[in-house]
Structure 1
Amino acid sequence: MPLSPERVLDVRDLQVSVGDHLVAVQDVSFQIGRGEAVGLVGESGSGKTLTCRAVLGLLPTTGEIDHGRIVLGDGADAVELTGARRSTWDQVRGVRLGAVFQDPASYLNPSLTVGHQLAEQLRVKAGLSRAAAHRRSVELFTEVGLHEPESVFHQYPHELSGGMLQRVLIAISVSCEPELLIADEATTALDVVIQAEILELLRRLRETHGLSLLLVTHDLAVVAETCERILVMYGGQVVESGPTAEVLGDPQHPYTRALMDVATIGNWERRTLDVIPGQPPAAGERMPGCRFAPRCRYAAAACVAGPVPLVDLETEGRSARCARLGEVLTESALEEVSA
């Protein structure tokens, strides 16, 4: 898999277990280049959030990185995050690495004003004085599109809408000019109008701050609009990756094709809702071959005979994990199935 130039994140052979040594994320490798937006997609339980939590050093108490490497930055500025000490995380989280999540209210202290919480971040992480932190907080609230930012500064989380809270959390996350922002389902709980505004905000912040973005979502339309590259996860593994337009335009893994079939992307007039039959494997479930095989219309003996590697394709930057790669997703095969 080719490396992105000027990497801000390099994840190699990551394996994460939860509970009683149940492997929930396995053989995950990817890189994010400076200023690049990468979409991480897949059904619930595919390992997207656990992968992000590993990068952020926020695994649940039962979670553990079994092996692999997570490196933030490149060259002399590179920091090994796997097994990092608390002092290292204090220097990285909120400074070089930011994050926003699905329910912003859960990540804000209800007993403190949102302005106090942003100003505290600037005082602790950026070393600003109280007055300077106040001024910079108001500037950031303005930048993320909050009207009457001075008034918002003095409001509590319960006084703000979900969209406003998400803007507050984004302001906190970018306040110290991080290299990478991880947005984990950051627009899922918002209505479509506010969702579009938040996505536009993230796009603008990428341009003005030189920000790299890891966008976790189940919405392919959001990825198509926002991200240059896409990673498709299933059963704790990356099953396909590559430039977004190429992956969505010509998917090489049956799971990616199945996601396209159930999405509304490019087909807004469709009235029926397709589904992928069956259920994803449970975390830690042992399977000898392809984890998607029980739900795959193309599954054959080769698919369950043994582990299926992630293979680099002829197109630079593209890879897929399929035992029948190149056999089943040709145009003629798809026409035969739909006939």
Structure 2
Amino acid sequence: METLLLNGDAVDENARMGEVIRAVESAFAAYERGDVQMPAKSYIELPRYNGDFRSMPAYMDAGDWDAAGVKWVNVHPDNPADHDLPTVMGTMIYSDPETAYPLALMDGTELTMKRTGAAAAVATDHLAVADATTLGIVGAGVQSYTQLEAIAEVRPIEEVVVADKDPDRVDAFRAEFADRFTVTEGSIADAAACDVLSTVTPVRDPIVAAEDLGEHTHVNAMGADAAGKQELETAVLQSAKVVIDDHEQCTHSGEVNVPWSEGAIGDDDIYGEIGEIVVGDKAGRTADDGVTVFDSTGLAIQDVAAAHVVYAEAEQAGNGYPFELI
């Protein structure tokens, strides 16, 4: 047997967004039904290098799904300036559960962007108004691209408002999508007034106020991935219908972590997990809902589900570089 090596371009080519969205939705459902094993994300702190390693293993055994893998990812903020390397890099090992043979070794950074966008799309599909045509994005970094790509798969997005401190990043984003959408630069309040809002920033001081949001805006809070990070003012979370991906991760390092640890919100303020909505145990958007919020921390099962799609597509298309690892 051979192991398939897939770089970032190969992952991008084979991660067809529609398929990734369906795979991630299936992963949320499998998690809710108990058809997965997903140990808690583990951390190795590297204070000497101002960074850390994170390992994210998971196994899915649900119907047609029989997939396992682990993502090894880092966060090193000094990399761009000191080493001309990205702050975050990831590697995904996708394995055959029956034999444990490593079927693929693939770029986890591109995979993360795809599955993160797909998670927002799943939440948007269940929680946003059906006729949403406007999307606001706060933060025009790499994650913003797959937010639009994925959300446009589930809603008829026509206009996009982007807010970012760096006008060059806004210009690059506009140029990428100019032939498909009307993209304008605006303030955070302008973006927040849209039908759907995705926040993809690393801030620790909230930047989206309750009064900024539209009456029925759905918010994908994607940026908080560590304790102390928060993009939305606590008042937003106190008044919105809040849906999370995983209670342990979200209360530790998701959008709700700060107000939850301070006692400003409690479990009664959290409507439920996205998996409960996907399987039909709880309702998604109802006629009585105003603002809705999805707190996404990113689950290892999303990586495995996305890797499953990428590997299958690449193997069928003959993409990547097969080599004998074992």
TM-score, L = length of structure 2: 0.31
The structure number with the bigger radius of gyration is 1
TM-score, L = length of structure 1: 0.30
Which has the larger strand fraction?
Answer: 2
